[in-house]
Chain A
Amino acid sequence: MNTFVCIKRVPDTSEAEVKVDASGKDVDSSKFSFDINDADNYAVEEAVLIKEAKGGTAKVICAGPQDADVMIRMALAKGCDSAIRIDDPRINVLDPLQVAKVLAAAIKGQEFDLVLTGCMANDDGAMAVGVALAEELGVPHAAMVKKVEVGDGKIKVQRELEGGIGEVVELTLPAVVTIQTGINEPRYAPIRGIRQAQKKELKVVTIDDLGLDENEVNEAGSLIELQKLYIPEVVSNAEIIEGEPEEKAEIMATKLVKGGLL
């Protein structure tokens, strides 16, 4: 089994305040901490598990800046064999269909049985790149997968539907599968792996190296256009509890008990 796994570097904004910058088309990311996208981390683990069980290779693909090398090396330390990073500021990361085109160009012409992506990126939440990538590669796909069983020339996967129901489908290989979080338990990189990762190949390419015309993947060539970013009005009817943390806790406890909410 030869597997490619596509990963993205994203900011952790779960507890961070997000502000729109002066351009009105981007956010101020100077205070964000970045790491591998959650679902992609599970996809890396799944690629390594498949390689361990079935043999073959697990290769990483990433479209992103040099800062992404840290998380790429981490994927290599966990057992991936090599990586390609497409480093090109012309890529319009706001259009998932264009990102899919870039990833497809990096994979086309190489032998593969399976391509894994995370099912959703934490930053844009579009859930589109993996499925679009399958269409670009001309292979079948299944999205939001929480279980993978590799067979002979086929793969059986369980998709996660609403309400926790599973849907089992069988795909003919090669195929693209988008991985849902929780499918496995991502490992920590072993020390030996971290050392070995430094020696593994991490090839950096541009869209020209991939034979792409820049108008296929840049902002001008996109069929959609970001006009404006803005912070949504948080319409909240909540009663805001004021004071020092301890006071807030006391006020809240009193409201719960005296207000008959328990």
Chain B
Amino acid sequence: MGDIFVLAEHRQGELRDISLEMLTKASELAPKMGGEAVAVLIGSGVDSFAEKLAGYSDKVLYIDDPLFADYNSEKYQKVLVELLDSYKPEMVMIGHTTQGVDLAPALAVEKKMPFVADVIEIEHVDGKPRPVRQFYQGKVNADIAFKGDAPYLITFREATLEVPDASKQGKVEKIDSPLKEDIEYRRFIEYVEAEVGEVDITQSEILVAVGRGVREEKNMAMIEELAKAINADICGSRAATDAGWLPHDRQVGTSGKTVKPKLYIAIGISGAFQHLAGMKAAKTIVAINKDPEAPIFTVADFAIVDDLFKVVPKLTEKLIELRG
């Protein structure tokens, strides 16, 4: 008892960063819970991942079977149910990622586990892990207590912490798959590569980014004028591409592109974590938003708390004037 299971995440031959991020957090918590940080790896041809994970965990439990050549949450769920019954960990951590959100809620229902999604921090209070999550797109934090019995389940947000160098030598234990046959009701077919557009914003030096605050398509004219004045490319948050103001390949964030321009001017973007993850590496960030509490300001170098419709035209005018 007291062990923390961390479900390792990998795709198309690569171990994803969230795996090590969760193990880092689990390694900090496990001693307080009187247990070990255990990496659980399910895949096919994943010996090298098991070794890498050992550097960050007390133990690696892994299943290497052609049944798991590609991710399938329904198959993972069957395996995890068996592992929970045999090993009885106190807590299970799964990434709050496209893999994790497709799996964790169903596992929670099947095993009647106390479940908290999209956790950004886990404290240890009254002898139990106590997650922190957010509401209203990062504007409110919530301390949530587990009331029911262990094992507890959380999905953990990506990129919330730095991963140190490997410092552990967990023992690696290969086990047979408890699942013996493939399932028919959900089948993996193929991957489809991301769309490629005429401008590759990952290579842009200067980006003007728009979000929901721009309100409607006709206001894009004002944005285009600013972009033209400083030779910038235009990109946007999910809200902007969904609304059709920009093509999908201009979306910045976890489900879009990760950019690192010299200058990023965020206009009317509140800064959901999915967006921040895609742009916080920009060298200089200017944010214009009405709400002083907008999470975009946590990554900004220059903050303009004001009505973008009053600021942007004047900014363009002044930039043109100064640049001659």
Residues of chain A at the chain B interface (Cβ within 8 Å): 11, 13-18, 20, 27, 38, 96-97, 100, 119, 122-132, 134-136, 140-144, 156, 158-172, 180-182, 185, 222-232, 234-241, 245-246, 248-250, 252-258, 261-262
CB-contact partner of B263 in A158, A248, A262, under 8 A: A262
**Stretch in B19-27, B168-176, B313-321 touching the partner:** B313-321
- Asked if A232 contacts B323 (CB within 8 A), the reply is no
Knowing A144-B101, A249-B318, A257-B322 are in contact, say whether A169-B109 is a contact too (CB < 8 A).
no
Please classify the interface of chain B as helix (H, G, I), strand (E, B), loop, or mixed, using the class held by over half of its residues: mixed
- Asked if A142 contacts B186 (CB within 8 A), the reply is yes
How many residues on the B side are at the interface (Cβ–Cβ under 8 A)?
A: 105
CB-contact partner of A16 in B115, B291, B305, under 8 A: B291
Contacts of B116 in A (CB 8 A): 224
CB-contact partner of B293 in A18, A38, A170, A250, under 8 A: A18
B24 CB to nearest chain A CB (Å): 20
- Asked if A249 contacts B315 (CB within 8 A), the reply is yes
- Asked if B238 contacts A181 (CB within 8 A), the reply is yes
With A182-B238, A249-B311 already in contact, 19 other A-B pairs whose C-beta atoms are closer than 8 Å: A14-B213, A127-B105, A127-B117, A130-B105, A158-B192, A160-B255, A161-B98, A162-B97, A169-B186, A169-B188, A172-B185, A230-B143, A232-B141, A239-B303, A249-B304, A252-B315, A253-B319, A253-B321, A257-B323
- Asked if A100 contacts B105 (CB within 8 A), the reply is yes
A2 CB to nearest chain B CB (Å): 19
A13 to B106, CA, bound (A): 29
Contacts of B110 in A (CB 8 A): 135
Contacts of A125 in B (CB 8 A): 117-118, 134-135, 137
| 29 sample A-B contacts, Cβ–Cβ < 8 Å, listed by A number | A13-B139, A14-B211, A15-B268, A27-B140, A97-B105, A97-B109, A124-B135, A128-B105, A128-B108, A131-B101, A143-B101, A164-B195, A167-B188, A170-B187, A222-B147, A223-B114, A224-B144, A224-B145, A234-B292, A236-B300, A239-B301, A240-B303, A248-B304, A249-B317, A250-B314, A253-B315, A253-B319, A253-B321, A261-B262
B80 CB to nearest chain A CB (Å): 13
A257 CB to nearest chain B CB (Å): 4
CB-contact partner of A225 in B73, B144, B302, under 8 A: B144
Contacts of A129 in B (CB 8 A): 105
**Stretch in B37-45, B53-61, B282-290 touching the partner:** B282-290
Contacts of B11 in A (CB 8 A): 161
Interface residues of B in 206-264 (CB under 8 A from A): 206, 211-213, 230, 238-239, 241-242, 244, 248-249, 251, 254-258, 262-263
Residues of chain B at the chain A interface (Cβ within 8 Å): 11, 71-74, 96-98, 101-106, 108-110, 112-118, 130, 133-148, 184-195, 206, 211-213, 230, 238-239, 241-242, 244, 248-249, 251, 254-258, 262-263, 268, 270, 284, 286-287, 289-293, 295, 297-298, 300-307, 310-312, 314-315, 317-319, 321-323
A257 to B317, CA, bound (A): 13
- Asked if A128 contacts B311 (CB within 8 A), the reply is no
- Asked if A20 contacts B297 (CB within 8 A), the reply is no
Contacts of B304 in A (CB 8 A): 241, 248-249, 252
CB-contact partner of A245 in B104, B255, B257, B306, under 8 A: B306
- Asked if B104 contacts A128 (CB within 8 A), the reply is yes
- Asked if B186 contacts A140 (CB within 8 A), the reply is yes
Q: Which of chain A's residues has its CB closest to B114's CB?
A: A223
Knowing A165-B194, A224-B114 are in contact, say whether A257-B319 is a contact too (CB < 8 A).
yes
Contacts of A223 in B (CB 8 A): 112-115, 146-148
